[in-house]
Chains A and B, each alone.
Chain A
């Protein structure tokens, strides 16, 4: 069975093309691009909510996109136990929908951050199966609001349920910070309780091709397919 997937495009999404290429190149299966005003979603294994500035990030990052027509279908897809991945703005949208806990607030230095970062796996799930426990991945980030925040109670739940998928870490060499945006416990990505929905700030779709600086982003799709 070939792996089927879809990418949702909102007005202001700007990583939708990147996500489509990422899926086409790595899954070799059917890939759909769905406009936010659609009211049906094809039956696919994975849906990606891509990065960008959906609706200009007006009101709050992800807030307006979370009220789009297609979102009902996206929630159904997740409730069906199929995979849903929100990258960057997609992560923000997932917290606004309420499929993921917590919120993404402004980076600690109150500035946009576009650079390479390093992450490692925290708790095992189907999105990071192919990644070794000690493995450090190099993947770019590009966000203004990537500072993950939640209250202590929620944090304990995330830990107890092993919902933390990725955390920022120090790279191999001297010039990289450990927790680039000030996230609580350096959290870079979390899942829902059932672990079929993942939100992450780093952009794996910018780190998979031979010409990219790193190919570590492949591991997420490889984990899902394996």
Chain B
């Protein structure tokens, strides 16, 4: 086999030699394709596995940790919650509409493959600077694509984040998360149960789309590549997915299916190999039986990433019943093979064996690298000059920065109330949906602080997890578990690898402290173009619950005259990275001081105070303090033309970041009780002001409420169009 062909398939020559030696024969082109698909970062985590193993993945509520299509946690009674986040970064850059749409489609399939009905989605999206036409095109396409898919299939979008920063200019990030509800005794796994079970193909016909998508997702880009790679982007059909979802859920609830696996990255190859590996069995598949949209070679069928397809194993005797149900939903269905006891993966085409490989070499012998990494150098601390900073300018700096403006333009393109169980829509600190037919609610939020993580990957990651935690706590949701999406640049650069390793350590520390295990996740590497690496962006999706929907907090002001209290610890202005960056005090990443060490015990202590005060119904509204400090948190809380009057020692304090920071609104009559509760718990608080009608007042200086609110609400749309 010639070297060029091997390299084109994304394998190194060393990797190829391992395979060659094991098999002691030449590979068919189809087999090379299989290794190309299965041995890339996207499928086998060869760079990150060593470090991911260190993450806590289990506790008393984890039913399924990483390794299945999605993680599942226990929500008491017979209720389980399946959830996962996954990236579709590269496809969304090449073709933003279809790239992001199929990202949503893929993550939803991961959820209903487990037997769970999806009940919510969230999206964490990041773009470059809006000044370029390209970014506007990407933003429009991505938001349209996410909306198109989710709206049509009818799963509410309840939140996420949307950030703009220059390192994403040529590598926008699209991470889609989905949450599903499953009955604990009806969870489906990818492991087949019996030898001789029929392998059936369910869903859309196979076409040429997405061939080599998974290996593309593990490539470094150059600008010229874009057009060439466009055929590798999958095209989604949410209507088909809706039928597929209903059909599969009906099959599963009728007990007609043994196991199921969605055909996602690396299509039929990956799903069949996974099945064989999980069950410690073999698979035989006749590729001539695969329903095709157009004539395809065996190689193309194996690597196609056509969307809306599933692979299932059924007992022979159920064949007829399965066909009947799928006919009702107008879904293609074909028996294409069977489970064997050979522990080999065998594909046949035109009466010829085109692939015959032991499962072991594909899965267990997949490469695992221990790449070199550097630990960032210690930063020198210095004092910045704040003397020229004026309050008015600080407000203007926030209101002219997309990252602080109300993102309704994005969320309004998503259906967030379909299914009728939505309690908190996007734009609040966490999205919340009710478990249908119960009083239980699920809250979810996604977060990442790339700037913090670049400054100090370990501490920065702890801050990121803490922020997600606070998002849930602010709504009186108990944080339960995490899914993660590790977006990084090329791990071949030891500096980047260092960010990866240290942030995983930070994630571990925080997850252990908060007892929120990581139950599912995804890794996306090589996010760099023209030598510009993205900021490290390990996104966290955190899920929590409250058993009583009547106890949920709102993030919006509730009544004029109520008092505003601040909990938590302010970071010093010299160590508030977003303050320094967004108020244009520090420009270059090397100028920033190191992060202050975040005290996670303190985070927990304050969080418990917020939860207790919420249960006692003392909290009228609550929001967490993050980027943009107290001021930004207050802006987000405005509602029904209610504003705020506050007094602080130094106006800059309103813009500093916090650890364990919360703004809480309480009634004046409860003030004594709440503050004595906080004092008893040893939680310091700051009384900074009150809610007023149609006004914003800071240290007796009055601002035009409607002017600020109009900018806050409407300028996002103006800037991006």
Contact = CB atoms under 8 A, between A and B. Distances in A.
Interface string B697-721: 0000000001001000100000000
12 contacts: A11-B243, A11-B330, A14-B242, A18-B418, A18-B419, A52-B154, A112-B144, A114-B413, A142-B415, A144-B151, A175-B709, A211-B434
Given A56-B239, A115-B408, A174 B418 contact: no
Given A12-B152, A52-B154, A57-B152, A140 B640 contact: no
A-B pairs, 10 with minimum CB distance: A14-B154, A56-B239, A18-B420, A142-B415, A114-B415, A53-B152, A206-B417, A140-B417, A112-B413, A173-B640
B416 interface: yes
B96 interface: no
Contacts of B423: 211
A14 B640 CA distance: 31
A206 B412 contact: no
A22 B417 CA distance: 14
Nearest to B412: A115
B640 A172 contact: yes
Interface in B432-459: 434
B442 to A, nearest CB: 13
B414 A112 contact: yes
A114 B420 contact: no
Contacts of B706: 174
Contacts of A56: 152, 237-240, 242
A180 to B, nearest CB: 10
Contact of B239 (A51, A53, A115, A205): A53
A203 B415 CA distance: 12
Contacts of A206: 417-418, 420, 422
A142 B420 contact: no
Interface string A185-220: 000000000000000000101100101100000000
B641 interface: yes
B329 A11 contact: yes
Contact of B242 (A22, A53, A172): A53
Contacts of B239: 11-12, 53, 55-58
A137 B103 CA distance: 36
B414 A114 contact: yes
Contacts of A115: 408, 412
A150 interface: no
A43 interface: no
B282 interface: no
A25 to B, nearest CB: 10
Contacts of A53: 151-152, 154, 238-239, 242
B549 interface: yes
Contact of B147 (A58, A112, A172, A205): A112
Interface in B547-601: 549
Given A53-B238, A175-B713, A21 B147 contact: no
B642 to A, nearest CB: 9
Contacts of B496: none
Interface in A89-112: 111-112
Contacts of A205: 420
A17 B419 contact: yes
Nearest to A37: B328
B561 to A, nearest CB: 18
Given A11-B243, A53-B151, A113-B413, 17 more contacts: A11-B330, A12-B239, A14-B242, A14-B419, A18-B418, A53-B242, A56-B237, A56-B238, A112-B144, A112-B414, A113-B412, A114-B412, A144-B151, A172-B640, A174-B709, A206-B420, A212-B420
A57 B415 CA distance: 16
B693 to A, nearest CB: 11
A12 B331 CA distance: 13
B710 to A, nearest CB: 8
A15 interface: yes
Contacts of A51: 418
Q: Which of A56, A57, A113, A172 has the most CB of B within 10 A?
A: A56
Given A12-B152, A53-B242, A205-B420, A174 B641 contact: yes
B242 A209 contact: no
Nearest to A206: B417
Contacts of A11: 239, 242-243, 329-330
Contacts of B637: none
B153 interface: yes
Nearest to A114: B415
A22 to B, nearest CB: 8
Contacts of A112: 144, 147-148, 151, 412-415
Interface of B: 144, 147-148, 151-154, 237-240, 242-243, 329-330, 408, 411-420, 422-423, 434, 549, 640-641, 706, 709, 713
Contacts of A55: 239
Contacts of B152: 12, 14, 53, 56-57
Highest count of chain A CB atoms <10 Å: which of B415, B641, B713? B415
A56 B240 CA distance: 8
A212 B147 CA distance: 22
Nearest to A13: B154
A57 B411 CA distance: 22
B44 to A, nearest CB: 35
Contacts of A140: 417
Nearest to B419: A18
B420 A21 contact: yes
Most chain-A Cβ atoms within 10 A of its Cβ — which of B154, B243, B411?
B154
Contacts of A14: 152-154, 242, 418-419
A14 B422 CA distance: 15
Interface string A131-145: 000000000101010
A33 B690 CA distance: 51
Interface string A31-65: 00000000000000000000111011110000000
B640 A114 contact: no
Interface centre among B147, B243, B417, B706 (most CB of A within 10 A): B417
Nearest to B437: A21
B653 to A, nearest CB: 28
Nearest to A115: B412
Contacts of B412: 111-115
B114 to A, nearest CB: 20
A203 B706 CA distance: 30
B49 to A, nearest CB: 39
A144 B417 CA distance: 15
A21 to B, nearest CB: 6
B473 to A, nearest CB: 20
B476 to A, nearest CB: 14
Nearest to A174: B641
Contacts of A58: 239
A140 B415 CA distance: 10
A114 B641 contact: no
Nearest to A180: B412
B59 to A, nearest CB: 29
Contacts of B408: 115
Nearest to A144: B151
A50 B147 CA distance: 20
B434 to A, nearest CB: 6
A12 B420 CA distance: 17
A21 B416 CA distance: 18
A175 B711 CA distance: 11
Given A56-B239, A114-B413, A115-B412, A15 B329 contact: no
A82 to B, nearest CB: 25
A15 B415 CA distance: 12
A56 B101 CA distance: 15
The residue among B329, B420, B640, B709 with the most chain A CB atoms within 10 A of its own CB is: B420
A2 to B, nearest CB: 22
A112 B147 CA distance: 8
Nearest to A110: B144
Nearest to B421: A211
B641 A173 contact: yes
Contacts of A209: 420
